[in-house]
Amino acid sequence: MKIVVLDGFTLNPGDLSWDEIAEYGDLEVHDRTPYDTKEIIKAIGDAEIVYTNKTPLPKDVLENVPWVKFIGVLATGYNVVDVAFAKTLDIIVTNVPSYSTQSVAQFTMALILEMCHQVGNHSNAVHDGDWVNAVDFCFWNAPLIELEGKTLGIIGFGSIGQSVAKVAQAFGLKILVNSRTNKPEFETDTLKFVALNELFAQSDFISLHCPLFESTRGIINSANIEKMKPGVKIINTARGGLVVEKDLAKALNSGKVSGAAVDVVSEEPMKANNPLLNAKNCIITPHIAWAPKEARMRLLNTTKNNLEAYLDGTPINVVNA
């Protein structure tokens, strides 16, 4: 049985092993595959099992590889695959849920703390000589913010949103949550489910943890930013398409939004003309929240379990059942 990985480098740049997948067939791993229909079909070849992280598998690819029986998405989000069309071809599509919960929650808090303390900027200033030349025993070149008593709005309350809420409460933050479904069992004196407009109006920080659906695409836009507190800070470690980037850039430059931290953008790799690159007070990281080795090990282990279950006739983590 032929197994192909279309874009294995980001998951495993060399510090993990594909051996447990290779036990199940003839494994071919591509570091990356050009996002071109003919190139993707060529890379798939005669494989029955196909793995992808970000390489798209739309209808015009799938209809040309009718021998494919199983697609494993090497991520939680699976919008790179036309899952509905795959189902018409009896192709099973699986994903890897919850592997990065701890990592993304940790990274979200790191971004919040960086916006509050400007650690990188202050370290750079010291290395540039500002402390050596200071007249006082200390200095700071940006406002410093204490989290205790502030309000964090969380949009989306899956495993990552829940984990962020748990960690944030330990810092003394009050939590407002907007989710497709309220979960009363999570409500406490410091965590409440609210309507989206209430979250916008009351939050000092807003963190995005929802999937990218048509209903959430561009949820951070000029109209909704107008509903937010002056000086709000926005964090996005979910999906780039949740943000209308030109609207956020405008709000950053005007000061309506006093800071933003994004680990994802609308097009990745990032384009040189992305408006956030030149916006004020905007931290941008290259989609790394998911990527600690521990998280990638969990991803690869679940990938193996998904394949094993499929071959046993009892598939798990199927997204197009």
**Using one digit for the tens of pLDDT, what is the confidence trace for 181-209?**
999 999 999 999 999 999 999 999 999 99
Q: Are 256 and 109 members of one domain?
A: yes
What local confidence, expressed as pLDDT, does residue 102 receive?
98
Nearest to 21 by CA among 96, 103, 101: 96
- The answer to whether residue 200 sits within a structural domain is yes
Provide the H-helix boundaries in 135-259: 159-170, 196-202, 222-226, 245-254
Q: Which residues are catalytic?
A: 239, 268, 287
Q: Assess if residue 317 is contained within a domain.
A: no
- Structurally, the chain folds into a number of domains equal to 2
Residues 13 and 87 in one domain: yes
Tokens of 195: 């309507």
Per-residue model confidence as pLDDT tens digits over 274-314? 999 999 999 999 999 999 999 999 999 999 999 999 999 99
Indicate whether 159 belongs to any domain.
yes
Task: State what percent of residues in the chain have pLDDT above 90.
Answer: 100
Q: Token digits for 5?
A: 């990985």
Is 321 domain-assigned? no
73 and 89 inside one domain: yes
Question: What distance in Å separates the CA atoms of residue 253 and residue 248, rounded to the nearest whole number?
Answer: 9
Task: Read off the pLDDT of residues 6-62 as tens digits, 9 standing for 90 and up.
Answer: 999 999 999 999 999 999 999 999 999 999 999 999 999 999 999 999 999 999 999
Query: Token pair of 88, please?
Result: 């018409």
Between CA 101 and CA 90 the distance in angstroms is 31
Whether 107 and 77 map to the same domain: the answer is no
Q: Which structure tokens are listed for 11?
A: 């998951």
Q: What is the mean pLDDT of the chain?
A: 98
Quickly state the pLDDT bin for 251 (edges 50, 70, 90): very high
Together in a domain, 71 and 179: no
66-108 confidence digits (pLDDT tens): 999 999 999 999 999 999 999 999 999 999 999 999 999 999 9
273 in the same domain as 242: yes
Asked whether the whole model's pTM tops 0.85, one would answer yes
**Inside any domain, residue 319:** no
Instruction: Say yes or no: 93 and 154 in one domain.
Output: no
In this structure, the answer to whether residues 271 and 199 fall within a common structural domain is: yes
- 266 and 173 fall within a common domain: yes
**Is there a single domain that holds both residue 151 and residue 134?**
yes
For residues 166-179, average pLDDT: 99
114 in the same domain as 94: no
pLDDT computed for residue 243 by the predictor: 99
* Residue 29: predicted pLDDT: 99
Q: Has residue 215 been placed in a domain?
A: yes
Query: CA geometry: angle at 98 spanning 95 and 99, to 5°?
Result: 85
pLDDT of 115 reads 99
Locate 49 and state its tokens. 């099992």
Calculate the dihedral angle through the C-alpha atoms of 125, 274, 78, 158, rounding to the nearest 10 degrees: 50
Instruction: Assess whether 180 and 131 both reside in one domain.
Output: yes
The answer to whether residue 26 sits within a structural domain is yes
Q: For residue 73, give the CATH number of its domain.
A: 3.40.50.720
Q: DSSP letter at 128?
A: T
CA atoms lying within 13 Å on the CB side of residue 121: 15
| Residue 318 counted as domain residue | no
Q: Is 137 helix (H, G, I), strand (E, B) or coil?
A: coil
Q: How confident is the model at residue 226 (pLDDT cuts 50, 70, 90)?
A: very high
pLDDT at 148: 99
Q: Which structural domain range is residue 145 located in?
A: 101-284
Burial of 214 (0-12, 13-18, 19+ CB in 10 A): exposed
